[in-house]
Amino acid sequence: MSKKKTEEWLKISAGDPALDVGRTRDKTKVEKAVESLRGMTADEIANMMRECKVKGRPATVRMCPIAVYMRQTWGGTYLVGPKNIIWYSHGRLEKMATPKHWTQFINGYDNGDYPDLVAPPPRVERARPGRKTVKKKRAPYKRSKRINHPALDTGREYAGKPAQGGASDRDKNPS
């Protein structure tokens, strides 16, 4: 492919509207997901999340209710924040600006306007009262190979240089 055709192809794949005339471009996964919620206000999005029984965690991009809904509906991993939407799956990555009505919902959700959409905190296993927790035994300490390097041995020379360290004067002449 010539350099000129390559540059034209890069512009088309980047979505340059001047070169998109007469050509149809497949919608990306993020664009399809955004269209499913297009034109809804923040309250309508919240009602839809309630109907779908989707809950999330405030101030997180991966556990935002919209990200959870999109992951359940479209698959892959979605990161939804007030500025960008990122989707990635199996090495593919797509990025898009967050629509204004989504930003309004996200900001309201993070500020506590929709407390019924907040998921309960994750359960943490704790020891029962009166029982001691069992600590896992650590593996025996192993010295790394770097420590056993010949240049670090005391009293030896390595590559023509005297070893650092070595016996001190006190060790040579005990008194």
In a domain, 146, yes or no: no
Q: Is residue 163 part of a domain?
A: no
pLDDT in tens, 122-151: 777 666 666 666 666 666 555 554 555 555
Q: Is there a contact between 29 and 90 (Cβ–Cβ < 8 Å)? A: no
In the chain, helix, strand, coil percent, each to 5?
35, 15, 55
Range of the domain at 96: 24-117
Q: Quick one: pLDDT at residue 34?
A: 85
Structure tokens given for 20? 């998109």
**For the chain, how many structural domains are there in total?**
1
Q: For residue 16, is pLDDT > 60?
A: no
**Exposure string (b/e) for 20-29, b if CB count within 10 Å is 16 or more?**
eeeeeeeeeb
Residue 71 belongs to some domain of the structure: yes
User: What is the model's pLDDT at position 15?
Assistant: 47
Q: Which of 10-19, 40-49, 88-97, 104-113 has the lowest mean pLDDT?
A: 10-19
Considering the entire predicted model, what is its pTM?
A: 0.57
**pLDDT reported for residue 103:** 94
Q: Is 92 within a domain?
A: yes
For residue 136, is it within any domain? no
| Closest CA relative to residue 19, chosen from 29, 31, 9, 32 | 9
